[in-house]
Chains A and B, each alone.
Chain A
Amino acid sequence: MSDRMDLPQGTLDLLILKTLALEPHHGWGISERLAQMSSATFDIRQGSLYPALHRLERRAWIKARWQTTEHNRRAKYYELTRKGRAELNTQTDAWKKLAAAIGQVLEAV
Chain B
Amino acid sequence: MLADLLLRLKSVLFRGSVERDMDDELRFDLEQRIEAFRRTGLTEDEARRQAALAFGGVEQIKDDIRDSRGVGVIDDLQRDIQYAFRTLRRAPGFTLTAIVSLALGIGGTTAAFTLLDHVLLRPLPYPQPERLAGLYQTQFSRGYARLFLSWPNYQDWKRLNHTFAAMGAYGNMAANVSGHGEPRRVDGVAESDLFQVLGVRPRIGRALGADDEREAAPPVVVLSDGLSRSLFATPDDALGQIVRIDDQPYAIVGVMPPAFGFPAPTTQFWLPAHRQLMDYDDRSDIYLGVVGRLRAGASLGEAQADVTTIANQLEHAYPKDNPGTGAVVVDLRDVISPQSRMLVLAVFGAAFCLLLIACTNLASLLLGRSLARRRELAVRVAIGAGRARLVRQLVTEHAVLAFAGGIGGVGLAVLAIPLLAQLVPTALPVATAPRVDGRVLLFAALATVFTTLAIGVATAWRSTAATDAAALQQRAGGARVGRDRMRAALVLAEIVGTVTLLVGCGLLTRALWRVESVDPGFKPDGVLTLRTALPFNAYRGVSSRAPFYDRVLADVRSTPGVVSAAYTSWLPMVFGGGIFPATRAGEATDPRSAVLTSIRFVSRDYFATLGIPVTRGRDLSDGDASGAPFVTVISESLARRLWPGEDPIGRTINIAFADRTVVGVVRDIAVRGFERPSEPQVYAPEQQMRDNLLLFHIPKDLAIKARDDAAALALAPAVTKILHAVAPDQPVSDVQLLSHIMETQTTARRTQVDVLGLFAAVAFLLAAIGIHGMLSFAASTRKQEVGVRLAIGATRADILSMFLRQGLVLGVLGTAMGAPLAYALGRMLSGLLFGVSPADGAVYLAAMAIALVMTISGSLHPAMEAARLNPVSTMRAD
The verdict on A58 contacting B70 (CB below 8 Å), with A47-B60, A51-B61 known, is yes
Q: Is the C-beta of B56 less than 8 angstroms from some C-beta in chain A?
A: yes
**Residues of chain A contacted by B57 (CB below 8 angstroms):** 47
Could you tell me if A50 and B3 are in contact, using CB atoms closer than 8 angstroms? Answer: no
Residues of A with C-beta under 8 A to B33: 28
Complex CA distance for A99 and B678, rounded to whole angstroms: 100
- Flag if A27 contacts B24 (CB, 8 Å): no
Residue of B whose beta carbon sits closest to that of A26? B28
Q: Mark A21-40, 1 if CB is under 8 A from B, else 0.
A: 00000111000100000000
Distance (Å) between the CB of B715 and the closest chain A CB? 88
Specify which of B8, B24, B26, B70 is in contact with A46 (CB 8 Å cutoff). B26
The answer to whether A46 and B65 touch (CB under 8 A), given A28-B28, A76-B24, is: no
Chain B, residues 77-90, CB within 8 Å of chain A (1/0): the string is 00000000000000
- A52 lies within 8 A of chain B by Cβ: yes
What 1/0 flags go to B1-35 for Cβ under 8 Å of A? 00110011000000000000100111011011100
- Which listed residue (B4, B21, B61) contacts A76, Cβ 8 A? B21
Given contacts A51-B64, A74-B24, A76-B24, contact A28 B7 (CB under 8 A): no
Nearest-neighbor residue (CB-CB) of A81 within chain B: B3
Q: Does A101 interact with chain B (Cβ within 8 Å)? A: no
Contact among B36, B56, B65 with A54 in the assembled complex (CB-CB below 8 Å): B65
Task: Judge if B473 is at the interface, Cβ distance under 8 Å.
Answer: no
| B55 located at the interface, meaning its Cβ lies under 8 Å from any Cβ of chain A in the complex | yes
Q: Is B68 engaged at the interface, CB distance under 8 Å to the other chain?
A: yes
Is A87 interfacial (CB 8 A cutoff)?
no
- Give bound CA distance, A26 to B4, whole Å: 21
Residue of B nearest to A73 (CB): B28
Q: Is B67 an interface residue (CB 8 A)?
A: yes
Question: Is A51 a contact partner of B26 (Cβ separation < 8 A)?
Answer: no
Cβ of B29 and Cβ of A58 under 8 Å apart? no
Are A52 and B32 in contact, with the CB atoms below 8 A? no
CB of B740 within 8 Å of the partner chain:
no
Verify if A96 is at the interface (C-beta below 8 Å from B). no
Residues of A within 8 A of B7 (CB): 57-58
Measured in the bound complex, the distance between the Cα atoms of B67 and A40 in whole Å is: 28
Most A CB within 10 A of own CB, among B57, B64, B67, B69: B64
CA distance A34 to B56 in the complex (A): 19
Quick one: which of B524-568 are within 8 Å of A by CB?
A: none
- Given A47-B61, A59-B4, the answer on whether A27 and B29 have CB atoms closer than 8 Å is yes
On whether the beta carbons of A47 and B64 are closer than 8 Å, the reply is yes
B68 touches A76 (CB 8 A): no
Q: Does A60 contact B (CB under 8 A)?
A: yes
Residues of B within 8 A of A28 (CB): 28-29, 32-33
Question: A33 → chain B, closest Cβ, in Å?
Answer: 12
| Chain A residues with CB below 8 A from B61, complex form | 46-47, 50-51
| A4, CB-defined interface residue at 8 Å | no
Of chain A, the residue at the smallest CB distance from B4 is A58
Contact partners of A55 in chain B: CB under 8 A: 68-69
Closest to B67 in A: A51
Residue-by-residue, is B23-54 near A (CB-CB < 8 Å gives 1, otherwise 0)? 01110110111001000000000000000000
Query: Across the interface, do A27 and B25 meet the contact criterion of CB distance under 8 Å?
Result: yes
In the complex, which of the residues B8, B31, B65 contacts A51, with contact meaning CB atoms closer than 8 Å? B65
| A5 interface contact, C-beta 8 A | no
Q: Say yes or no for A100: interface residue by CB 8 A criterion.
A: no
Interface presence of A75 (CB below 8 A): yes
Supposing A28-B32, A45-B56, A58-B68 touch, asked if A50 and B4 sit within 8 A by C-beta, the answer is no
Question: A54 vs B33: C-alpha distance in the bound complex, in angstroms?
Answer: 20
Docked complex Cα distance between A54 and B31 (Å):
20
Residues of A within 8 A of B67 (CB): 51
Known contacts A60-B3, A60-B4: does B25 contact A50 (CB below 8 Å)? Answer: yes
Partner of A58, one of B25, B36, B69: B69
In whole angstroms, how far apart are the Cα atoms of A26 and B25 in the complex?
9
Query: Which residues of the partner chain B approach A52 to less than 8 Å between Cβ atoms?
Result: 68
Least CB separation from A83: chain B residue: B3
Q: Which residues of A contact B8 (CB under 8 A)?
A: 58
A45-B56, A58-B68 given. 18 additional CB < 8 A pairs? A27-B25, A28-B29, A46-B26, A46-B29, A47-B57, A47-B61, A50-B29, A51-B64, A51-B65, A54-B68, A55-B69, A58-B3, A58-B7, A58-B8, A59-B4, A60-B3, A74-B24, A76-B21
Complex A-B: 18 CB contacts under 8 Å: A27-B29, A46-B26, A46-B55, A46-B61, A50-B26, A50-B65, A51-B61, A54-B68, A55-B69, A58-B3, A58-B4, A58-B68, A58-B70, A59-B4, A60-B3, A73-B31, A76-B25, A76-B28
